[in-house]
Amino acid sequence: MTGPLSHIQVLDLSRVLAGPWASQNLADLGANVIKIERPIDGDDTRKWGPPYLKDRDGNDTSETAYNMAANRNKRSATIDLSKAEGALLVRKLALKSDILIENFRVGGAAKFRLGYDELAAENPGLIYCSITGFGQNGPYKDRGGYDFIIQAMGGLMSITGEPGDQGGGPQKVGLAVSDLFTGMYASVAILAAVTHRERTGEGQVIEVPMFESLVDYLMIEHLSGASFDPPIGEMGFARLLSSMRKPYETKDGYLSVLPYTDANWRDLFELAGREDLQDDPRFVDLSTRMRNSQEIYEILADIVSTRTCAEWQRDLDVAAIPAQIVKGKDDLLNDEQLAATGFWKFVEHPTEGGIRMTEPPVRYSKSSSSIRRLQPRLGEHSNDLLAEAGYSDEEIQAFFESGVSAQPN
């Protein structure tokens, strides 16, 4: 079964994560994604190791696990945009593409005659997705976008970790969420633009700034009192921001427990031998518990500390109270749910040996998303893509000799 985007060609000029993640989402849905990379070095993430993929003899290769995670189902061509011939070559590919994704700094693409206005003049149906740190306007527009910086500027670090008087102060999230949120927004926006084009024949430019993408997610729960003008309270959803809303230490580990309903709380108090709290006016319903969230979470921490993880998991499961022993990332490799759904995919790489990948997590009853090809080696498809663009063998060889392109390593 072909994917729903099998009729779409995507020219991916982006690098690192937000753009490649967006184009991989489209590639998983069947789009023909052409990834343009710099000769010799390629995408930055090709050097983000260890770990490096191993060859059949167990030796490190030049392929990193990081690059592999966001570049499957694509073809790679190396083209040097700093050379006039290279920029013209990419322009030719853009004029034959349905979608272009780029994450140059503001004005960067136009330097190579790859800006939207110039391309749309010849390819009016082009959907042009520009991913930036801060958009095309405003005082921050010329700054680069980096997840670590966006997490700091976007307020995420301020609500992550424990306050400075109780812990380590602001903390980053252990995942490049700014890039991933932005990439997913870009994927959705591109698909909406595809629908618009199918109805009207019109392409368009899409702007997806990392800063606003993160702040938009943050404000879903934390705009709070500032939702009103004038504000009627502080920003921040107190229940989520409580320093005691966290995994609690048991006798032998950590447990995340979430009594969700009034009945859950009454049953938990009974399990803990704290029936005196069942009718405590501070905790009788959701409204009173939210007003006294710090107190009830402190009590919950004390309760959880009295037993082992396994004891709590057993009893809370029987009582249908949501709870889970905190797992490490390594535990996910053997998780029974992920095994049952076929989430992990094991494949044999033609040069690197056996590798583990994640299957696309969305399943369709009529369409399909799938892994059709592994992440490409740097420039693996340069020859094929240049030939598809209409260049002769002699012209392609000249590109290789002049450094405009490069044959795969």
The catalytic residues are 179
The angle formed by the CA atoms of residues 157, 161 and 163, to the nearest 5 degrees, is 95
DSSP-derived 3-state class of residue 64:
strand
Separation between Cα atoms, residue 75 and residue 298, nearest integer Å: 53
Residue-wise over 68-93: b if at least 16 C-beta within 10 A, else e?
Answer: bbbbbbbbbbbbbbebebbbebbbeb
Q: Where are the alpha helices (DSSP H) in 127-242?
A: 147-153, 177-200, 210-222, 238-241
How far apart CA 404 and CA 384 sit, in angstroms, is: 15
What is each CA distance from 391 to 9, 379, 398, in whole angstroms? 19, 16, 10
Q: Which amino acid makes up residue 338?
A: L
User: What is d(CA 97, CA 77) in angstroms, rounded to the nearest whole number?
Assistant: 15
Assigned token pair, 243: 């320093």
* DSSP three-state, residue 130: strand
Strand partners, 254: 249
198 three-state secondary structure: helix
Residue 78: its H or E element: strand 74-78
Nearest C-alpha neighbor of 99 from the set 68, 130, 134: 130
Nearest CA-CA partner of 79 in 116, 123, 35, 114:
35
Q: Determine the Cα–Cα distance for residues 242 and 205; give it in Å rounded to an integer.
A: 41
